[in-house]
Amino acid sequence: MNPTLTAYVNGQFMSLDDATIHIEDRGFQFADGIYEVVACFGGHFLDLDAHLARLQRSCDGVNIPLPCSLDEMAVLIQETYERNPYADAMIYVQITRGASPRSHLPQGKLTPTLIVTSRHLPQPSNEKIATGVRGITLQDIRWKHCEIKSIALLASVMGKQEAHARHADEAFWLNEQGHVLEGCSTNILAIIDGVLVTHPLDHQVLGGITRKMALNVAKAHGLAVMERAWTLDEAGITEMMMSSTTNAVMPITTLNDTSVGDGKAGKTTLRIRQWMIEEMERLRAA
Ligand SMILES: Cc1ncc(COP(=O)(O)O)c(C=O)c1O
């Protein structure tokens, strides 16, 4: 319990122990938010203007409206500092797109969530400063583990927003080699020269349960299946489809304003969809 600590949450100061946000908050659901942290030593903020400017840039970068002016934010930061017991403090400002029923594409006009908290800023001992720190190096994996169904979905949210702005339903990611990987919340498969093709399972794609089911029913019905890297300029692409728990398989008929195949729902795609429905009905009946 921290009865003496105070947090600012959406317009109110309250005890940190009572401070909560909605479970549908997009920060929790999608990591759809930004933050800033500013140090305060004995009442003096270190470069507050630079932190506020970066806060504005971060909000602009993900298209979240700043919930108040930067001057009002400076006042909130000051007040949060004063309401907490630490002379040397880190003041955290966290802003998310707000709470709404879970959907990658934000539904309607949301009210951003704003939280300001204070934590103690410990000073390293002279001994630690003299000793220094130990480090390691790692390959940069930020964020290259798409096989993990992580809630760090901000890039997917941004992709969905871009798709929506361009009157599309889904955005599909290409890697640097131009390989077609997957959608923001779907896998993608194509019919190329009569073969059902999709990117193999590695760190670049989520192992979709529906993707697996589509491949399995296709194989069971004698359709050739190949998990390999593929690109949009391959000759022989006649159909594309996306798969997910919420869509089963759905034909993709337009990509980047260009028709896929003849621009109609692919016949093989619809056949796979039908096989999946039959499979689900078999499961339901069992
Ligand atoms: C990035 C991504 N790829 C693929 C999928 C499809 O997975 P599944 O078929 O298990 O729903 C999802 C589903 O949320 C997803 O977020």
The reported pLDDT for the residue numbered 119 is: 97
**Ligand 1 mean position, distance from CA 186 (Å):** 5
Count Cα neighbours of 7 within 13 Å in the Cβ-side half-sphere: 18
The reported pLDDT for the residue numbered 3 is: 54
Q: Which of 147, 241, 244 to mutate to test the pocket of ligand 1 (most atoms within 8 A of CB)?
A: 244
35 is known as an active-site residue: yes
Nearest to 194 by CA among 160, 165, 166, 222: 222
206 is known as an active-site residue: yes
Categorize the per-residue pLDDT at 102 as very low, low, confident or very high, splitting at 50, 70 and 90: very high
Name the 3-class secondary structure at 237.
Answer: strand
CB 122 within 8 Å of CB 86: no
Residue with tokens 């108040």: 68
Strand partners, 239: 191
Categorize the per-residue pLDDT at 4 as very low, low, confident or very high, splitting at 50, 70 and 90: confident
Taking residues 30-49, report their average pLDDT. Answer: 98
**Residue 166 structure tokens:** 């361009």
Mean pLDDT, the chain, rounded, equals 96
**Ligand 1 mean position, distance from CA 244 (Å):** 5
Binding site membership of 159 for ligand 1 (Cβ less than 6 Å): no
**Residue 53 vs residue 1, higher pLDDT:** 53
- Give the C-alpha distances (Å, rounded to integers) separating 149 from 38, 146, 157, 203: 32, 7, 14, 11
The pLDDT of residue 1 is above 70: no
Nearest CA to ligand 1 atom 3: 186
Binding site membership of 268 for ligand 1 (Cβ less than 6 Å): no
Binding site membership of 186 for ligand 1 (Cβ less than 6 Å): yes
Position in ligand 1 atom list of the atom nearest CA 187: 4
Categorize the per-residue pLDDT at 86 as very low, low, confident or very high, splitting at 50, 70 and 90: very high
Enumerate domains of the chain plus CATH numbers. Answer: 6-121 (3.30.470.10), 154-285 (3.20.10.10)
Binding site membership of 187 for ligand 1 (Cβ less than 6 Å): yes
CB 32 within 8 Å of CB 150: no
**Residue 266 structure tokens:** 């692919």
Please count the other Cβ atoms lying within 10 Å of the Cβ belonging to residue 147.
13
pTM of the model: 0.93
- Catalogue the E-assigned strands of 86-160: 88-96, 113-120
CB burial class (10 A; 0-12, 13-18, 19+) of residue 279? middle
The pLDDT of residue 2 is above 60: no
Binding site membership of 185 for ligand 1 (Cβ less than 6 Å): yes
pLDDT digit string (tens) for 149-183? 999 999 999 999 999 999 999 999 999 999 999 99
The reported pLDDT for the residue numbered 200 is: 98
**Residue 253 structure tokens:** 């008929």
Taking residues 261-285, report their average pLDDT. Answer: 96
Task: Exactly one of 55, 206, 215, 223 is catalytic; name it.
Answer: 206
- Give the C-alpha distances (Å, rounded to integers) separating 190 from 137, 170, 221, 223: 39, 15, 17, 13
196 is known as an active-site residue: no
Binding site membership of 152 for ligand 1 (Cβ less than 6 Å): no
Q: DSSP letter at 232?
A: T
As a whole number of angstroms, the distance between CA 86 and CA 254 comes to 57
Q: How many helices (H) and strands (E) does the chain have?
A: 7, 15
Chain centroid offset of residue 19 CA: 25
Binding site membership of 59 for ligand 1 (Cβ less than 6 Å): no
**Ligand 1 mean position, distance from CA 190 (Å):** 16
